[in-house]
A and B are shown apart, each in its own frame.
Chain A
């Protein structure tokens, strides 16, 4: 256990560092700078701005500066937000994204689990198959506008912006959690089918355990493994904010920030956000790997 933990931890740290360097280099090497668009600026002003943000140092110096600041949780200043520190810009966007993200996480896990079990037990497997693929392929770009038009404008039932209390969270949460829940339902169903085909189930049956005990006590637990390995990316995806959902529902969260910083080439903000997203994904994967490891003793051999 200790060795596995240490190895995973080390690997995660290396991934994060690699990510930081890679991201930094990518952003410094790509064509176009943050001040290219403002052609009205005199050359001297651009020069001063560049000096202020440290853009005219050599690449290596910039990287060294970046890494030494990184240790102190200083990602530099956002150019887009007039020199505000990246940490505070991100901190402003985080609550919205994390709030909506965690609601839709709960919704998609419970709904997906429910849907998966229903489609496993129900006799109308074709219908549930149809429903799963339907949910799986409803793109945000279709579902978002469609639901907004139907509920927001046509029937005038639900608010389409976030400033109307809890009802305004219904639509974004639905749009955000439909695909993950279908994915999850699928994983659970497939895993259950596979688990029940394994020889130990037959043995358990021969020992006289009831179908119910086998499923609830053993098979369900064994089929949680693929479900858990999907949880890491899901948590990260939901917490880093869907770019589209946030744009469509005009949520000032991390996704919107990321798009804005990409479109405006705000180096420091892009790097800060990328590192945050990477950190969330790596941490989530780490945690769920540990849970999986705890649950399935066969993994100890790895």
Chain B
């Protein structure tokens, strides 16, 4: 394993651990305001400084990480499932099922992703009271995953088509295995690795979708904290209090960077023939 991949993994586990840790150790601090100490720069007491209401930015960043990471992972999982169902069904049925489903996929894809997601958020109802945080997460997950499952559908269709033509499927069929058994017991395990790596490689994009949506005001609503919200709040005071945006933005950047590195490593491993040396 390369050093960068190693450090990326360490960084990621730190982010996850801290964001779980803060909600256990200081569950109330998220809402605690302290106007006397508002807008302070980074110090020993407040590592990232404090925001306009005196809330600790370090804590808020990692409270935000909870929502952002959760959304990123959940929506990529959902997108994977939707895409897998759609794509493998089309490939399994073949002939005109495949034709029609793939042509309609092209229609779904005829919009830039961000635009589709924006429309979907609006469709699901963007304005939610801040007390309904869970509902908002659910809606965003739906919007993001329904806006981006097409990639997974294409991949799973191609993979299923490839596996379907291999002799072991024929052998299984000759032995009397049902379609369902062939698909779930034989094909699915064989294509799952590629799909999971693809899903991992998409997580950074999903994180970014969340932050973009929250930034433009369609996503998580304040006073809830997410990376998008922090960036939106910090953006207003960039010229005077740059730490308000630069710290959360840097954490977001590092997370995306590490995720990309880790999953690029997996992708490269996948390309190698099975059993070859891991070290480069």
Contact = CB atoms under 8 A, between A and B. Distances in A.
B107 A14 contact: yes
Contacts of B234: 145
Q: Which of B111, B211, B217 has the most CB of A within 10 A?
A: B111
Interface stretch (B86-94, B122-130, B153-161, B189-197): B122-130
Interface string A37-66: 000000000000000000000000000000
B239 interface: yes
Nearest to B228: A141
A136 interface: yes
Interface stretch (A26-34, A199-207, A221-229): A26-34
B110 interface: yes
A95 interface: no
Interface stretch (A79-87, A210-218, A236-244, A293-301): A236-244
A149 B238 CA distance: 7
Contacts of B123: 26-27, 29-30
B228 to A, nearest CB: 8
Majority-rule SS of B interface residues: helix
Contacts of B119: 23, 26-27, 262, 270, 274
A281 B112 contact: yes
B82 interface: no
B122 A262 contact: yes
A243 B212 contact: yes
B177 to A, nearest CB: 33
A141 B114 contact: no
Given A139-B252, A149-B238, A243 B4 contact: no
Given A26-B119, A141-B211, A243-B212, A236 B127 contact: no
A137 interface: yes
Q: Size band of the B side of the interface? A: 35 or more
A91 interface: no
Contacts of B62: none
Majority-rule SS of A interface residues: helix
Interface string B232-263: 00110011001001100110110011011100
Contacts of B228: 141
Given A15-B106, A15-B110, A136-B260, A263 B246 contact: no
B257 A148 contact: no
A247 interface: yes
Interface string A141-155: 110011011001100
A14 B105 CA distance: 12
A259 interface: yes
Contacts of A138: 253, 257
A90 interface: no
Contacts of B125: 30-32
Interface string B164-185: 0000000000000000000000
Contacts of A140: 212
A240 B103 contact: no
Contacts of B231: 141, 145
Nearest to B106: A15
A133 B257 contact: yes
B208 interface: yes
29 contacts: A11-B103, A14-B103, A15-B107, A15-B110, A18-B104, A31-B125, A130-B4, A133-B257, A139-B253, A139-B256, A141-B208, A141-B231, A145-B245, A146-B249, A149-B238, A149-B245, A152-B239, A153-B238, A237-B112, A243-B114, A244-B215, A247-B216, A248-B235, A258-B115, A259-B118, A262-B119, A263-B218, A278-B111, A281-B112
